Chain A
Amino acid sequence: MSSAPEVRVRRCDCARVLELDGTTTPAPFLHLPRLESLSRLEPEAGELATELLELAGSECVRLRPSPPGNWAPSRPARDGPIVHYSLERTPDPEELVGLVREVRESGSVRAVTVLDPEWIPLLYYLGFDLFDALVCVHLSLRGEVLLEDFATEEREDEPSELLRENWHRFQVALERLERLLRSGELREFVESVAARNPRVAEVLRVCDRERALTRHVNMARDSEIRCSTDLSFDRPEVSEWVRRVTRYRPPEWAEAFVLLPCTARKPYSQSPMHRRVSRITREFPVDELIITSPLGIVPRALERTFPAAHYDVRVTGEWSEEEVERVANLVERIVPESAVLVCHAHGGYRLAGEELSERGFEVEFTCDRDENPASRRALARLEETLGELLDRDGGNLWDHVPRAVSTFQFGVDVLEGVEYRFDGQHVRSSDGERLLTVPPTTGLLALSEPGARVCLRAGVDPVRVEEGDVEVPEEARPGFQWPAVVEGEVKVCRLLVRPEDVPPGAQVIELR
Chain B
Amino acid sequence: MPEYRGRPDRYVAAWVQPDRVTGADRSVVIILSTRGCRWFRETGGCHFCSYPLEGAGEKVPADLLVRQFERAYSRHRPDGPHAVKIFTSGSLLDPEEVPDEALERILGRLAEEPNVTEVSFESRPEFVTEERLELVTELLDGKPFEVGIGLETSDDRLRRSLNKGFTFREFARAVRRVKEFGGTPKAYLMLKLPPLSEAEAIEDTVRSAVDAWLAGCERVSVCPTTIHRDTPLERAWRAGLYRPPWLWSCVEVARRIKELLGDRVDVLVDTSGAGTPRGPSNCRRCSRRVARALRRFTATQDVGELEGLSCRCRRVWRSLLAV
A→B interface (CB under 8 Å): 31, 33-35, 37-38, 40-42, 45, 49, 65-73, 76-77, 84-92, 95-96, 98-99, 113, 115, 134, 137-138, 141-142
9 closest Cβ contacts across the A-B interface? A91-B240, A67-B161, A73-B236, A95-B238, A88-B243, A76-B195, A77-B195, A71-B161, A37-B199
Min C-beta distance of B165 to chain A, whole Å: 11
Residue of A nearest to B203 (CB): A37
Min C-beta distance of A348 to chain B, whole Å: 39
**Given the complex, which residues of B lie within 8 Å of A77, measured CB to CB?**
195
Q: Which one of B203, B252, B322 contacts A45 once the chains associate, using CB atoms below 8 Å?
A: B322
A-B contacts, 23 of them at CB < 8 A, read: A33-B200, A37-B203, A38-B322, A41-B199, A42-B199, A66-B157, A67-B160, A67-B162, A67-B195, A69-B160, A70-B163, A71-B195, A72-B47, A86-B195, A86-B197, A86-B242, A88-B241, A88-B242, A91-B240, A95-B240, A99-B236, A113-B197, A115-B320
Q: Do residues B161 and A115 form an inter-chain contact, with CB atoms below 8 A?
A: no
Residue of B nearest to A98 (CB): B239
Min C-beta distance of B205 to chain A, whole Å: 12
Q: How far is the CA of A33 from the CA of B241 in the complex (A)?
A: 18
Q: Do residues A92 and B157 form an inter-chain contact, with CB atoms below 8 A?
A: no
Residue of B nearest to A141 (CB): B319
Q: Do residues B239 and A96 form an inter-chain contact, with CB atoms below 8 A?
A: yes
Min C-beta distance of B160 to chain A, whole Å: 7
Q: Do residues B239 and A41 form an inter-chain contact, with CB atoms below 8 A?
A: no
Given A92-B240, A95-B238, A38–B199 Cβ distance below 8 Å?
A: yes
Q: Which one of A34, A68, A137 contacts B197 once the chains associate, using CB atoms below 8 Å?
A: A34
Residue of A nearest to B161 (CB): A67
A-facing residues in B220-242 (Cβ within 8 Å):
232-233, 235-242
**Given the complex, which residues of A lie within 8 Å of B199, measured CB to CB?**
34, 37-38, 40-42
Q: Which one of A71, A98, A138, A142 contacts B194 once the chains associate, using CB atoms below 8 Å?
A: A71
**Given the complex, which residues of B lie within 8 Å of A69, measured CB to CB?**
160-161
B215 contacts the other chain (Cβ, under 8 Å)? no
B158 contacts the other chain (Cβ, under 8 Å)? yes
Q: Do residues A85 and B161 form an inter-chain contact, with CB atoms below 8 A?
A: no
Q: Do residues A45 and B239 form an inter-chain contact, with CB atoms below 8 A?
A: no
Q: Do residues B238 and A41 form an inter-chain contact, with CB atoms below 8 A?
A: no
Residue of A nearest to B277 (CB): A89
Residue of B nearest to A113 (CB): B323
Residue of A nearest to B256 (CB): A41
Min C-beta distance of B43 to chain A, whole Å: 11
Residue of A nearest to B320 (CB): A115
**Which of A70, A71, A138 counts the most chain B CB atoms within 10 A?**
A71
Q: How far is the CA of A67 from the CA of B242 in the complex (A)?
A: 15
- Dominant SS at the A interface? mixed
**Given the complex, which residues of B lie within 8 Å of A88, measured CB to CB?**
240-243, 323
**Given the complex, which residues of B lie within 8 Å of A142, measured CB to CB?**
319
Q: How far is the CA of A142 from the CA of B240 in the complex (A)?
A: 22
Q: How far is the CA of A115 from the CA of B198 in the complex (A)?
A: 14
**Given the complex, which residues of B lie within 8 Å of A42, measured CB to CB?**
199, 318, 321
Q: Do residues B162 and A37 form an inter-chain contact, with CB atoms below 8 A?
A: no
Given A42-B199, A89-B240, A90-B240, A73–B161 Cβ distance below 8 Å?
A: no
Q: Do residues B200 and A67 form an inter-chain contact, with CB atoms below 8 A?
A: no
**Given the complex, which residues of B lie within 8 Å of A89, measured CB to CB?**
237, 240, 242-243
Q: Which one of A31, A45, A49, A72 contacts B319 once the chains associate, using CB atoms below 8 Å?
A: A45
B84 contacts the other chain (Cβ, under 8 Å)? no
Min C-beta distance of A268 to chain B, whole Å: 42
**Given the complex, which residues of B lie within 8 Å of A31, measured CB to CB?**
197, 322
Q: Which one of A45, A67, A85, A138 contacts B157 once the chains associate, using CB atoms below 8 Å?
A: A67
Residue of A nearest to B192 (CB): A88
**Given the complex, which residues of A lie within 8 Å of B238, measured CB to CB?**
91-92, 95
Q: How far is the CA of A31 from the CA of B321 in the complex (A)?
A: 13
With A31-B322, A67-B195 given, can you name 6 additional A-B contacts, CB distance below 8 Å?
Answer: A40-B203, A49-B322, A73-B241, A88-B243, A115-B323, A142-B319
Q: Which one of B195, B233, B240, B322 contacts A65 once the chains associate, using CB atoms below 8 Å?
A: B195
Min C-beta distance of B226 to chain A, whole Å: 15
Q: How far is the CA of A69 from the CA of B199 in the complex (A)?
A: 22
**Given the complex, which residues of A lie within 8 Å of B240, measured CB to CB?**
87-92, 95-96
A-facing residues in B269-323 (Cβ within 8 Å):
318-323
Q: Do residues A41 and B321 form an inter-chain contact, with CB atoms below 8 A?
A: yes
Q: Do residues B200 and A34 form an inter-chain contact, with CB atoms below 8 A?
A: yes
Q: How far is the CA of A113 from the CA of B323 in the complex (A)?
A: 7
B178 contacts the other chain (Cβ, under 8 Å)? no
Q: How far is the CA of A86 from the CA of B240 in the complex (A)?
A: 8
Residue of B nearest to A33 (CB): B200
Q: How far is the CA of A98 from the CA of B200 in the complex (A)?
A: 28
**Given the complex, which residues of B lie within 8 Å of A98, measured CB to CB?**
239
Min C-beta distance of A158 to chain B, whole Å: 16
